[in-house]
Amino acid sequence: MVRSPCFAPAFALACALSTLGCSGGTPSGGDDDDDIGPADAAIAACEPTSAGAFAYEKIATWADDARGAYSMIHDDMCGGQYTGIQDLAVPALDEAGVKAGLAPIAGQCQDNQVWNVVVDSEARGHEIVSHSYTHVNVTAENANHEVADAKSMFDSNIANPISFYVYPYDYFTPQTIAAVGAAGHIGSRAGLRDDNDGFDNPPINGAEPVKDLEAEFDVWPRSYSKYALFFPEDVLTVHAYNAIERGGWALREFHSVMPDGADPSQHGFGPIEVTPYKRHLAFLRDAWDKGVLWTAPPSTVVRYRRARTACKASVSGDAITFDTTSPDCVKYATPVSVIVTTTNDVPRVDGTQLGGPVLSRKLGPRRFSITADPTKGAVSLTGCANPGFEIDPTRELATRPMPASSVCEIETVAGTGSPGTMDNLERAPEQLQVLPNPSQADGRNGSWSWYPQAASVEITNEGAGAGNRALRYRGTGLAAWTGVTLAFLGGNGAGTCYDAARYTGIRFRIRGNVAATDELNGKVIVSLVTAETQSRDFGGDLAGTGGHFNKVVPVTAGWTTVSIPFADLNRPTWGATTSLTAVAKGKLQAIDWGVTNMASSFDIYLDDVELY
């Protein structure tokens, strides 16, 4: 058994995990598409022997017939607090032999004059991914600048044209998805994750080449992940396991990497410490060595899915030939893994295309993966008596992580009973969703969110008192249940618990109007979201769906102060939570102000939200 030297630290480690495997020598060709194995990963020259007859089995669903695929993207490269991407992430990736997508913000690369770190990272084999021009929410109005101009800026500074896009704040619309495609990107990270959870419906993309511009993903850290019931480091492994078990493609969103024990507030959004990061890379390396998971940059996976479906292959005699008549086979030209079998169980089979070697790996007795670009012609096959690269079936993966019994086990903050301030909205409008929320107190730091995205939410200078600011929440003709939500910790769905046992209830000021055709005309439903009533889709413990403890509150034109003792909240009336009799005050997650789906319009102001 010969393990690939790609995984030995003494080698350059730039091959197997990052692209399609290790080569039996210098890869064929010389352009960037073929740069999928380093020259110093060469093995001894083939000692020819008869492999008997060669037979075609299939083009593998994933490279080297792995059971799943996995991609990593580091957002916000070139940002001042994100230098850990080039200083820590890239060296760790190189050491492990893993290639990732790196997503700089074009304008920040220009303003901070750090194009050199982008160019250097690309030269190491990592894919450069566009993360917009200025990192604002991309809209139909600004898409030309944030998408097309960003691509032009990147393409003028790096070697390979940008082909994958990452939306700032993961915000997108059908119009912006269309703009990303029209600008020349073949894929983007834009999957709507609201219906996902870490159990029944994890955010895994299928093997078939669909929705390239709406790729599902998961986010590090855990508080933004769809695996909220798993401990932080397990979030990484379980996402990869889901790709293996479902035969799909897992996409992982990271930001910066920081030294162990560093202050995360100095390293941008959601940094990961370098030690757990390296452990994750080691897991990916093991998964490739065992032949179960292929890790590659996002555009490589998009192209592979397309080329594998569009291109055809066959074996005649000692040659693989390809049918490239499909336009997509040429458009997405990339190496694909052709699985061939032999009548003799030789240690190795080599392939030659255009006079140079292609990637070859033994998968098992008489079974080999030959990886080559169909658009570059036939591949000649030769049996070899000496060993080459092969999977290691004796290698065991780390045990699949198990979830906690409650998200409260993973993160709970207990309040002392004072101060009760949750949000008085006295900050600049652009800081509506800032984290940590400066208005919260007593261990709380939660931010605002709302649904659907079509609703309008903003900080306005129309609060309860002269010069006071408030939150304004409005919409017209939405034809859906809507709500604005204030989390106790992190964002709504963060999978955390706030213990408010030292408090009695919630208080807030409200005014506005709700025009509806049902009994909720002129009213909102105030719900207290707890881990007991929140579904696992949104960071709770509930396997299924159900209602929350709630109170119907009238909305009038003048400001009204509403105080609701926890004991006065009505029990849930639908779903899997109707048996609950008392609010789980130790498991609070959020407060929600909901508007009926029968509302033709609503315009609501909220201010001075607090616990008392």
DSSP class per residue in 359-393:
EEEEEETTEEEEEE-GGG--EEEEEESS---B--T
Task: Indicate the pLDDT class of residue 20, thresholds 50, 70 and 90.
Answer: very low
What 3-state class would DSSP assign to 587? Answer: helix
For residue 42, what pLDDT is reported?
66
Structure confidence by residue, pLDDT tens digits, 74-131 = 999 999 999 999 999 999 999 999 999 999 999 999 999 999 999 999 999 999 999 9
Compute the average pLDDT of residues 422-449.
93
H helix runs in 183-227, sequence order: none
Task: Indicate the pLDDT class of residue 423, thresholds 50, 70 and 90.
Answer: very high
Of residues 62 and 2, the one with the higher pLDDT is 62
- What CATH code would you report for 407-611? 2.60.120.430
Compute the average pLDDT of residues 458-482.
90
Select from 456, 550, 554 the least CA-distant residue to 514: 554
For residue 159, what pLDDT is reported?
97
For residue 392, what pLDDT is reported?
84
Is residue 286 pLDDT above 60, yes or no?
yes
Q: If 0-12 CB within 10 Å is exposed, 13-18 middle and 19+ buried, where does residue 437 land?
A: buried
**Alpha-carbon distance 440 to 302, whole Å?**
43
Residue 466 has phi, psi (to 5 degrees) of -60, 130
Q: Are 353 and 379 in contact (CB under 8 A)?
A: yes
Task: Indicate the pLDDT class of residue 40, thresholds 50, 70 and 90.
Answer: very low
Is residue 459 pLDDT above 70, yes or no?
yes
Strands, E, within 90-216: which ranges? 101-104, 127-128, 164-166, 187-189
Structure confidence by residue, pLDDT tens digits, 212-268 = 999 999 999 999 999 999 999 999 999 999 999 999 999 999 999 999 999 999 999
Q: Please confirm whether the linkage preceding 271 is cis (ω < 30° from 0).
A: no
One CATH from 1.10.730.10, 3.40.50.980, 3.10.200.10, 3.20.20.370 for 67-290: 3.20.20.370
For residue 25, what pLDDT is reported?
33
Q: If 0-12 CB within 10 Å is exposed, 13-18 middle and 19+ buried, where does residue 573 land?
A: exposed
Structure confidence by residue, pLDDT tens digits, 508-556 = 999 999 999 999 999 999 999 999 999 999 999 999 999 999 999 999 9
Which H or E run includes 282? Answer: helix 274-289
Select from 422, 444, 418, 445 the least CA-distant residue to 434: 445
- Tokens standing for 141? 């109005």
The percent helix, strand, coil of the chain (3-state, each to 5) is 25, 30, 45
Compute the average pLDDT of residues 465-491.
93
Could you tell me how many residues make up the chain?
Answer: 612
Is residue 14 pLDDT above 70, yes or no?
no
Rounded to two decimals, what is the model's pTM? 0.89
- Tokens standing for 242? 């889901």
Structure confidence by residue, pLDDT tens digits, 127-152 = 999 999 999 999 999 999 999 999 99
For residue 2, what pLDDT is reported?
33
Whose structure tokens read 């998971």? 293
DSSP letter at 331? H
Task: Indicate the pLDDT class of residue 291, thresholds 50, 70 and 90.
Answer: very high
β-sheet bridge partners, residue 381: 351
For residue 435, what pLDDT is reported?
82
For residue 37, what pLDDT is reported?
34
Of residues 192 and 155, the one with the higher pLDDT is 155
- Where are the chain's structural domains? 12-64+302-384, 67-290, 407-611
